[in-house]
């Protein structure tokens, strides 16, 4: 089995990422998003201060209004794209694995480990944001003109009953990410069982379903890439409208927000290092020095998929993980395990809730925890995928979706930081699971 698993082909970095790294900065998406952000902030502040001549104010106001209209549409599409993104990622990653025997033997252990670490990451994000409360610097100003939802959140009983969809289409139509994740797991498990069957027809059906899931994921990710071409205009319009209403005071909280996310990610890295210490006895320098190439690749590309070949080589040759286990965990982890993203989304949710004055009781926090833990096991490394899940979470707890515009401009640097932690999490899972497996054999 190990020999077969060692031959699992690792996907190469997407061509789009490679061409983006070679292109000039003016051809990269983050540059245009920051440009749209800057222009939106500038136009909004000029309109807020009122120093433009009458004709200029009218032109700027209409331009910002048109950009904001596109931004509202952009956010709506982003929200409803989360379902197909998460579903196809889970099904293609699990059902499409080339060694179903090994996947079956490790599935429960790997699932329990990923759920545990994703829960810790999300709780860290919620805890740091609850203690530091960075969104209070936006309180009042950010909420100006925002329509805050007052819809009642479900009770704990309603939340648990709501995990089961009434039909296959409702979770996608209502953008219920948690139900979509559960559906994806069930479908992926059914396909995996069919692939392990001795019935030739059943195996053929399973193989075709896995291929279609992979094709569907490619289509959805391509659509998301096309949608993200409009992100600079959305950033311009939404930020222009916000700053035209609230003025310069909205800038003060961004530094606190970025600092809160980075602090949470640093605590998550400490958690990883502690797990490695307990599992292997190795100290922090052992892991950091041996994995620095993979971590730097994750930081520079902001893509777990692009970092996967380097992560695999690091896990096997630098960290000493068995090739069969490294192939499984690094490949699966890069596709469906995004703990750094879960922490970031937890901080962003509480930050925006605080900024818009939306109270989050225990039921709301449990909803956020459940959705983010589940989504961290199914959010692919595609541009805008994390934002799509965040939009769903914000809508679920009654936070205005236009709040995403506040954090869109600093998302690139935070994307690089959280991807570094996603890569570190994949490597940590390989090291820990390998150590546990070796210990159980003794």
- Taken in order of first residue, the domains within the chain and their CATH numbers are 22-441 (1.10.3860)
Q: Decide: 230 and 384 in contact? Cβ < 8 Å.
A: no
The alpha helices in 50-176, defined as continuous H runs, are 54-95, 100-132, 156-161, 170-173
What's residue 131's pLDDT?
95
What percentage of the chain has pLDDT greater than the value 90?
20
- Per-residue tokens: 158: 């309603």
pLDDT band at 197 (very low <50, low <70, confident <90, very high): confident
Q: Minimum mean pLDDT among 51-55, 211-215, 231-235, 376-380: which range?
A: 376-380
Mean pLDDT of the chain: 78
pLDDT band at 253 (very low <50, low <70, confident <90, very high): low
At which residue do the structure tokens 């059902």 appear? 95
Is 60 exceeded by the pLDDT of residue 381?
no
- What single-letter DSSP state applies at residue 148? -
What's residue 97's pLDDT?
60
What are the two backbone dihedrals, phi and then psi, of residue 412, each rounded to the nearest 5 degrees? -65, -50
What's residue 2's pLDDT?
38
Q: Decide: 159 and 370 in contact? Cβ < 8 Å.
A: yes
Which tens digit of pLDDT belongs to each residue from 402-425? 788 778 777 767 887 888 899 999
What are the two backbone dihedrals, phi and then psi, of residue 320, each rounded to the nearest 5 degrees? 75, 30
What's residue 189's pLDDT?
80
- Distance CA(106)–CA(326), nearest Å, equals 12
pLDDT band at 216 (very low <50, low <70, confident <90, very high): confident
Instruction: Annotate 230-265 with three-state secondary structure.
Output: HHHHHHHHHHHHHHHHHHHHHHHHHHHHHHHHHHHH
Q: Decide: 110 and 433 in contact? Cβ < 8 Å.
A: yes
**What pTM, to 2 d.p., does this model score?**
0.65
Which tens digit of pLDDT belongs to each residue from 42-72? 898 888 888 888 888 889 899 999 998 998 8
Is 90 exceeded by the pLDDT of residue 120?
yes
pLDDT (mean) for 193-221: 81
- Distance CA(12)–CA(105), nearest Å, equals 27
């Amino acid at each position: 089995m190990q020999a077969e698993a060692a031959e699992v082909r690792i996907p190469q970095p997407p061509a789009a990422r490679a061409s983006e790294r070679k292109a000039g900065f003016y051809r990269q998406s983050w540059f245009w998003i920051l440009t749209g952000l800057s222009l939106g902030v500038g136009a909004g502040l000029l309109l807020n201060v009122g120093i433009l001549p009458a004709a200029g104010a009218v032109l700027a106001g209409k331009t910002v209004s048109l950009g904001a209209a596109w931004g509202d549409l952009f956010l709506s599409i982003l929200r409803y794209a989360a379902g197909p993104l998460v579903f196809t990622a889970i099904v293609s990653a699990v059902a499409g694995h080339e060694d179903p025997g090994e996947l079956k033997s490790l599935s429960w252990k790997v699932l329990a480990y990923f759920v545990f670490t994703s829960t810790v990451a999300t709780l860290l994000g919620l805890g740091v944001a609850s203690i530091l409360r960075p969104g209070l610097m936006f309180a009042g100003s950010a909420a100006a003109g925002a329509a805050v939802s007052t819809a009642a959140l479900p009770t704990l009983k309603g939340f648990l009953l709501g995990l089961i969809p009434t039909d296959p289409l409702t979770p996608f139509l209502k953008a219920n990410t948690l139900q979509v994740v559960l559906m994806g797991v069930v479908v992926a498990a059914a396909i995996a069982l069919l692939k392990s069957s001795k019935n030739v027809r059943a195996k053929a059906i399973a193989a075709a379903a896995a291929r279609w899931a992979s094709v569907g994921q490619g289509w959805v990710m391509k659509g998301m890439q096309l949608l993200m071409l409009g992100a600079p205009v959305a950033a311009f319009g939404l930020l222009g409208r916000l700053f035209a209403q609230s003025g310069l005071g909205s800038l003060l909280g961004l530094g606190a927000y970025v600092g809160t996310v980075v602090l949470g990610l640093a605590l998550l890295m400490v958690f990883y290092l502690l797990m490695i210490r307990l599992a292997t006895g190795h100290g922090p320098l052992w892991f950091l020095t041996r994995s620095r190439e993979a971590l730097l690749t994750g930081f520079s590309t902001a893509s777990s998929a692009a970092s996967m070949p380097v992560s695999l080589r690091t896990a096997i040759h630098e960290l000493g993980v068995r090739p069969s286990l490294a192939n499984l965990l690094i490949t699966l982890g890069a596709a469906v395990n995004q703990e750094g993203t879960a922490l970031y989304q937890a901080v962003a949710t509480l930050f925006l809730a605080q900024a818009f004055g939306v109270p989050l009781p225990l039921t709301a926090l449990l909803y956020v925890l459940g959705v983010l833990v589940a989504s961290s096991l199914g959010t692919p490394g595609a541009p805008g995928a994390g934002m799509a899940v965040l939009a769903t979470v914000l809508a679920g707890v009654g936070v205005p979706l236009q709040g995403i515009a506040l954090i869109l401009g600093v998302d690139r640097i935070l994307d690089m930081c959280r991807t570094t932690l996603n890569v570190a999490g994949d490597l940590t899972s390989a090291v820990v699971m390998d150590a546990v497996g070796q210990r159980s054999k003794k």
